[in-house]
Amino acid sequence: MICYKCGCRLSEHDFCTGCGADVGLYKRIMFMSNRFYNDGLEKATVRDLSGAIVSLRQSLKFNKNNIDARNLLGLVYFEMGEVVSALGEWVISKNLRPQKNIADDYIDMIQTNQARLDTINQTIKKYNQALLYCYQDSQDLAVIQLKKVLSYNPKYVRAHQLLALLYIVAEEWEKARRELEKCCQIDTNNTTTLRYMKEVEHMLMPEEAVKSAPKKKAVRENVVRYQSGNETIIQPVNMKESKGVSTLLNLGLGVIIGVAIACFLILPGQIQNAKADINNELRAVSEQSDAKTATIDELEQKVQKLTDENAALTAELASYQGTDGTLKATDGLMMAVDAYLKNPDDIESIALYLEALDEEEGEDKTEGIQDKTEAFTALYDDFLGLIGERLVDYYYNAGYAAYRADDYETAIPNLARAYQYDSANGDALYHLANSYRRNGDEDKAKELYAEVIDNFPDTEIANRSETYLAEINNAD
Amino acid sequence: MIDFEEELKKFHPSLEVEDAEEAIYNQDLTDMADILIKMIEKAKPEEE
């Protein structure tokens, strides 16, 4: 590095040892230029030609005298098919450093071969013509022209890109991709190329464009290809990652196999055991159920037997109850007789016992008595013959007194009993009829009046009965 | 989606060999070092 003022060689200091000028900033600018040159060289080494052009241009903006950067820039242009641009950089380079400059060799390489120079010139003209066709919407002609251009200069990136664009417009995606792949082989990191490629990939694989592209790249990166004699050997590089994945896969497979064994070998046995247990329990329950059913049948039979016995005993009891009724009636008769024997004048007590006897026998006393034993009937008849008159008098007097006192509720049963024990007692019947009439029971009264008229004709009570009967009938 | 017209505008005609000389002459070769030197030279008279 030399001083911009005196041309003296600069040291590590920030001033010129020859003229004393401050060269700190100047040196920094030179360093920046060199740094961009290194960056451009690095990019050019990996065929990132677009990136290299940017870096080398930056380098030359800092230091136009960076001959290496300018020569490399020309070389990169030449590699991309931009021959005129390359020549321009080399010419400038040669002017800046006429001696010991490799640009001289590059220029000579082109200029010494006139045919090649003419071809290059024709190529450029055809490219410009193709571009003109594109502007004029003559895309077919443009494609033809560009194909010619690329046949002369296969490394012309701009021609490849324009052709790819025309294919994209014509929706010829495969052709476009082929052109773009050629572009990538020349310039790996060209933004325009990558953008077109993304579009083409998207159209070819609409759903998996984004996903598949990195995978393919990864696959490519994971192998090493080399030539061994006539054979191309493709060897995987990184086995560790796949080992981890395969370990996980093996684990997963192991788990699946384990589950499958459990499902197909262990589970059926378990299910069979469970079924056997259930069958045993079912059998035991069935046996218990049968035993209980038998017990129930037995108990039902016992219930039936007991019901029958109960019915028989009920019938027997009913028969005994009949006997008991007779005994009770006999008791009533006995007590009446006993009362008579104790005090023959106590007709009231005797009447009460006989009333009780009558209530037990029901309304029809005669039939009730006939159902009894002969001894009972005989005793009853003899006893009535003995106290009958006094009993009739007792009832008639009591009934008549009540009748006179207008107490018909008392009069009616007494008069009825008086007529019951003595059917020849017409007065009792007549007053009984009157009691019913006065008590409001005219139907019963009419019946009894009729009985008086029938049983006691040509008597005063019969005449009166006829009169009352006529009154009742007239009233109706 | 790529717009053909817009993309086409990004493509420019290449320089032909006949035009190279003119292009080289017209190229602005001023760099940062030149600007710095001019600035230093311009700053010196003001200091004096």
pLDDT digits (tens, 9 = 90+) for A247-266: 889 999 999 998 888 888 88
Q: What is the pLDDT of residue A211?
A: 56
A363-407 pLDDT, tens digit each: 444 444 555 678 888 888 888 888 888 889 999 999 999 998 989
In-domain check, residue B6 = no
Closest CA to B14 of A470, A123, A285, A468: A123
Task: Give the mean pLDDT of A258-284.
Answer: 89
One domain, residues A413 and A468: yes
Q: Which of B7, B10, B20 sits opposite A87 (nearest CB)?
A: B20
Task: Give the mean pLDDT of A153-159.
Answer: 91
Query: Considering its fold, how many domains does chain A have in total?
Result: 3
- End position of a domain, from candidates A164, A192, A215: A215
A70-89 pLDDT, tens digit each: 999 999 999 998 888 888 89
Task: Give the mean pLDDT of A158-176.
Answer: 92
In-domain check, residue A298 = no
A87-113 pLDDT, tens digit each: 889 999 999 999 889 999 999 888 888
One domain, residues A451 and A336: yes
Mutate to test the interface with B, among A89, A124, A127, A129 (most CBs of B within 10 A): A124
In-domain check, residue B19 = yes
Q: How many CA atoms lie within 13 A of A247 on its CB side?
A: 5
Task: Compare all CA atoms of chain B with the CA of A21 and give the residue at the minimum distance.
Answer: B40
- End position of a domain, from candidates A48, A79, A112: A112
Closest CA to A59 of A92, A95, A31, A81: A31
In-domain check, residue B9 = no
- pTM assigned to the model: 0.49
A223-249 pLDDT, tens digit each: 666 666 666 667 665 555 556 788 889
- Which range marks the domain in which residue A174 is found? 119-215
Which positions 8-47 of B are in contact with A (Cβ < 8 Å)? Answer: 8, 10-11, 13-20, 23-24, 27, 29-34, 36-37, 40
- Which of A43-52, A182-191, A310-319 bottoms out in mean pLDDT, i.e. has the lowest? A310-319
CB B33 within 8 A of CB A4: yes
% chain A with pLDDT above 70? 87
Which positions in chain A touch B38 (Cβ < 8 Å)? Answer: none
One domain, residues A394 and A333: yes
In-domain check, residue A442 = yes
Report whether pLDDT(A212) > 90.
no
CB A49 within 8 A of CB A73: no
Question: For chain A, which residues lie within 8 Å of any Cβ of chain B, measuring from their own Cβ?
Answer: 4, 21-22, 25-26, 29-30, 32-33, 60-65, 82, 84-85, 87-88, 91-92, 117, 120-121, 124-125, 127-128, 131, 134-135, 158, 161-162, 165, 168-169, 192, 195-196, 199
Considering only CA atoms, give the Rg of chain A.
Answer: 74
Closest CA to A145 of A128, A161, A158, A157: A128
In-domain check, residue B5 = no
In-domain check, residue A388 = yes
Phi first, then psi, for residue A313 (nearest 5°) are -65, -35
In-domain check, residue B34 = yes
Query: Can you give the CATH number for the domain in which A376 is found?
Result: 1.25.40.10
One domain, residues A344 and A461: yes
In-domain check, residue B10 = no
Write down the mean pLDDT value for chain A: 85
In-domain check, residue A431 = yes
One domain, residues A132 and A206: yes
Which positions in chain A touch B14 (Cβ < 8 Å)? Answer: 82, 84, 124, 127-128, 158
Q: What is the pLDDT of residue A12?
A: 83
Report whether pLDDT(A197) > 80.
yes
Which positions in chain A touch B15 (Cβ < 8 Å)? Answer: 84-85, 88, 124
CB contact under 8 A, B36 and A63: no
In-domain check, residue A319 = no
Task: Compare all CA atoms of chain A with the CA of B23 and give the residue at the minimum distance.
Answer: A88
Which positions in chain A touch B13 (Cβ < 8 Å)? Answer: 127-128, 131
